[in-house]
Amino acid sequence: MNIKLGSGSRATPVGAVKYAVNDQGALVALGFEEHWDALVRRLQRRFPGATPAPSRSAAAVGDALDAYLAGDVHALDGLAVDAGGTPFQQRVWTALRAVPAGTTCSYADVARAVGAPRAVRAVGAANGANPVSIVVPCHRVVASDGSLHGYGGGLERKAWLLAHEA
């Protein structure tokens, strides 16, 4: 069975991003271009035979990204997301989407928010496994001392995203 996922891409000030949506239009992957092949491999494990291909079904994601990049930092909030993941990862990603643009939280804050205050490392692992970067705003998580730490896209991008949202 060959599943088709709609996909698209956008240039950003910190590098090109690519994304894919399922047949309901929910975002299933978004990442910087150099990480796209790894994201596609994850998608193919989740959706055997998946082939992300340019599609108009992904237009809403592209429009929301354009608005976000133009300064509407809340433009991504309404996007439907189907990130998959374990129940714990899903709780972490839901908690991340609740962190308002322009603010940050610590890994410990997220652990408390998901009802697992001692699971700081597991929160970090879930944060790192996020398949829909920027929309599930893992860049808003910082170290407990407020320093930038642990962003798969690189700390320069994390700093840019946080400054853009401030």
C-alpha separations of 122 from 77, 103, 128, 129 in Å: 25, 22, 10, 10
Pairing of strands 141-142, 51-54: unpaired
Pairing of strands 4-10, 27-32: unpaired
Among left, alpha and beta (phi > 0; psi -120 to 50; other), residue 165 is: alpha
Going by C-alpha positions, the residue among 19, 30, 53, 32 that lies closest to residue 130 is 30
Angle at 78 between CA 50 and CA 42, to 5 degrees: 25
Q: Is 105 an active-site residue?
A: no
Catalytic residue among 61, 138, 141, 162: 138
As given in the structure block, the two tokens for residue 155 are 């700390």
> What are the phi and psi torsion angles at 63 (to 5°)?
-65, -45
Residues labelled catalytic? 138
